[in-house]
């Protein structure tokens, strides 16, 4: 705990939360992009400080998306898509301030619940991973890829394609065992492969810059200056208290499922909030419980998504996939060591999540009137600014101009992929997990050959592998099983006039 309360880390958590609110509040930016841009910056920082910065931005951005959702009917991040339904209606009724206050309070409660669960669940799960051998890690990597491919985006086929591309990109450069150069095209810059951070900055940030360029650059959203009362009354709090707690738990559980992001959590939270409400007919008409149900769930994801990330190295969503890059760049490998050898860093990071949520609660209540102006930044200003920040981030990794060119190329690839509606999260995960899958596959083949059996037969005789194989099969079937809820979600998105973009 003393790590989180060091003065520099307190400052970092505060400014990280504030920066995250700005990033999340701007439609066109995302939590994933913000975290990806900041990872190279954390390279020179103390590991704890770097993680605190990234975690604070993550939490702030997920909350920040609600500001634009409530004020201009455009979610700042996909996580706030369900907040539009009641949030904007409340603005139309002159209750913008109440909606903003409800959003920040429920985000805080949802995030608080998920962080508390993270503290209690993470270490035991991390210790369990000590039973994992090479075949278990291989199937874990495959499971991570299949689940995020099947849940990220509209088409499972395209999700798997994206994951496979990521695996192929991970094979570029020197083979770790033989030293043979693969797919380097004679370029020295590719001998070490494509750095995952460069790929992420390019694909998430530069591709978004190109999408912003397509819009009318001078148009900015019209924001109402007078948002009214922000603090909820006791009566309002009493009305929504159980909804907040329930949605917080829902968000935590969904966040812990690899591939299921805050956008899914916010819709499930909203649906459940409506189902359990005493006044379900009021949902969609500008009802405070609608805002609370969505926001508590989407922020509940922040702690939940860190559970599989910190314990098994499997990200819970796209943001934590990027965060995994941030951990690896600091030399921190997910698993039991994070909670033993690096326990001060890990627990300092987790405690800082409480601080970040407290900071954005204060900023949300007292700074709402100022943050709302951020929403009106024209996309013509945002695009070149993001490009400039991406250049800074890319150069800082290896002090190399070739990394910046590589980042630009990955940006073109990311833009092209998004144009063809291919999700980006699986490709990043493929780049990260590729080396783990390949090296453990090689070890498993060697062990299987020594035991005079096949890889598959060996896997089927190990209980944890059997479970993981079953989960791989389930994750491949997940899109067909959840097709009904996806159609319902699409209809709700159409009503709100928002699109299902990469988080």
Minimum CB–partner distance for residue 248 and another protein (Å): 33
Rg (CA), the chain: 22
Q: State yes or no: residue 391 binds another protein (CB under 8 A).
A: yes
Find the DSSP H helices in 375-424.
379-398, 401-419
Q: State yes or no: residue 7 binds another protein (CB under 8 A).
A: no
In the range 29-48, which residues lie near another protein by CB under 8 A? 40-41, 44-45
Q: State yes or no: residue 127 binds another protein (CB under 8 A).
A: no
Q: Which helix (H) or strand (E) holds 174?
A: strand 173-174
Q: State yes or no: residue 186 binds another protein (CB under 8 A).
A: no
* CB of 48 or CB of 310, closer to another protein: 48
Q: State yes or no: residue 333 binds another protein (CB under 8 A).
A: no
Q: State yes or no: residue 366 binds another protein (CB under 8 A).
A: no
Near another protein by CB under 8 A, which window of 178-186, 223-231, 282-290, 323-331?
Answer: 178-186
Cα dist. 383→29, 35, 215, 425, 432 in Å? 10, 17, 10, 21, 27
Near another protein by CB under 8 A, which window of 233-241, 262-270, 288-296, 399-407?
Answer: 399-407
Minimum CB–partner distance for residue 373 and another protein (Å): 13
Task: Compute the distance between CA of residue 333 and CA of residue 331 in angstroms, rounded to an integer.
Answer: 6
In the range 194-233, which residues lie near another protein by CB under 8 A? 206, 209-210, 213-214, 216-219
206: which DSSP letter? I
* CB of 126 or CB of 206, closer to another protein: 206
* CB of 48 or CB of 206, closer to another protein: 206
Task: Compute the distance between CA of residue 303 and CA of residue 265 in angstroms, rounded to an integer.
Answer: 13
Minimum CB–partner distance for residue 269 and another protein (Å): 33
Nearest Cα residue to 151 out of 302, 296, 267, 25: 267
281: which DSSP letter? G
In the range 401-460, which residues lie near another protein by CB under 8 A? 401, 404-405, 408, 412, 415, 419-420, 422, 438, 441-442
First to last CA, the chain: 31
The two three-digit tokens of residue 67, written as one number: 């500001």
With contact defined as beta carbons under 8 Å apart, do 373 and 72 qualify? Answer: no
Task: Please select the residue that binds another protein; options are 6, 378, 464, 486, rule is CB under 8 A.
Answer: 378
- The DSSP annotation for 228-257 comes to ---SPPHHHHHHHHHHHHHHHHHHHHHHHS
* CB of 364 or CB of 434, closer to another protein: 434
User: Other C-beta atoms within 10 Å of 212: how many?
Assistant: 23
Residues that bind another protein (CB under 8 A): 40-41, 44-45, 157-158, 160-161, 164-165, 167-168, 171, 175, 177-178, 180, 182-183, 206, 209-210, 213-214, 216-219, 378-381, 383-385, 387-389, 391-392, 395-396, 399, 401, 404-405, 408, 412, 415, 419-420, 422, 438, 441-442
């Amino acid at each position: 705990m003393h790590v989180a309360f060091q003065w520099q880390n307190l400052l970092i958590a505060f400014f990280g939360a504030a920066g995250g609110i700005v990033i999340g509040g701007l439609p066109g930016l995302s939590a994933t992009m913000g975290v990806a841009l900041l990872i190279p910056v954390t390279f020179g920082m103390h590991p704890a400080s770097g993680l605190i910065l990234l975690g604070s931005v993550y939490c702030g951005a997920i909350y920040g998306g609600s500001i634009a959702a409530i004020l201009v009917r455009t979610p700042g991040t996909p996580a706030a898509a369900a907040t539009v339904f009641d949030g904007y209606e409340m603005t139309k009724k002159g209750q913008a301030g109440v909606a903003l206050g409800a959003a920040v309070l429920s985000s805080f409660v949802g995030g608080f619940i998920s962080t508390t669960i993270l503290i209690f669940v993470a270490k035991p799960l991390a210790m369990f991973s000590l039973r994992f051998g090479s075949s278990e890690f291989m199937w874990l990597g495959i499971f991570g890829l299949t689940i995020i491919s099947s849940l990220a985006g509209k088409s499972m086929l395209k999700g798997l394609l994206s994951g496979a591309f990521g695996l192929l990109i991970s094979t570029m450069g020197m083979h770790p065992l033989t030293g043979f150069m693969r797919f380097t095209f004679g370029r020295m810059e590719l001998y070490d492969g494509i750095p995952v951070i460069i790929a992420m900055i390019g694909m998430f940030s530069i591709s978004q810059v190109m999408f912003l360029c397509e819009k009318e650059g001078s148009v900015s959203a019209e924001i109402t200056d007078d948002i009214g009362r922000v603090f909820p009354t006791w009566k309002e709090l009493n009305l929504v208290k159980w909804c907040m707690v329930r949605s917080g738990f829902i968000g935590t559980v969904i966040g812990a499922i690899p591939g299921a992001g805050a956008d899914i959590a916010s819709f499930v939270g909203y649906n459940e909030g409506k189902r359990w409400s005493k006044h379900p007919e009021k949902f969609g008409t500008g009802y405070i419980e609608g805002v609370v149900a969505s926001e508590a769930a989407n922020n509940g994801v922040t702690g939940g998504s860190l559970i599989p990330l910190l314990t098994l190295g499997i990200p819970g969503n796209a943001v934590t996939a990027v965060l995994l890059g941030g951990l690896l760049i600091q030399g921190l490998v997910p698993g039991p060591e994070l909670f033993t050898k690096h326990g001060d860093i890990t627990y300092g990071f987790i405690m800082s999540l409480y601080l970040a949520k407290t900071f954005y609660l204060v900023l949300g209540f007292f700074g709402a009137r100022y943050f709302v102006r951020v929403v009106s930044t024209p996309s013509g200003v945002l695009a070149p600014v993001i490009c400039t920040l991406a250049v800074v981030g890319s150069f800082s990794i290896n002090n190399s101009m070739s990394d910046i060119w590589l980042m630009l190329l990955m940006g073109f690839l990311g833009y092209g992929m998004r144009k063809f509606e291919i999700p980006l999260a699986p490709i990043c995960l493929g780049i990260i997990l590729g080396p783990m899958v390949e090296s453990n596959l090689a070890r498993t083949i060697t062990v299987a050959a020594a035991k005079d059996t096949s890889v598959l037969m060996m896997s089927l005789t190990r209980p944890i592998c059997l479970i993981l194989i079953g989960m791989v099969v389930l994750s491949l079937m997940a899109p067909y099983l959840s097709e009904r809820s996806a159609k319902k979600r699409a209809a709700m998105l159409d009503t709100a006039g928002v699109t299902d973009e990469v988080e």
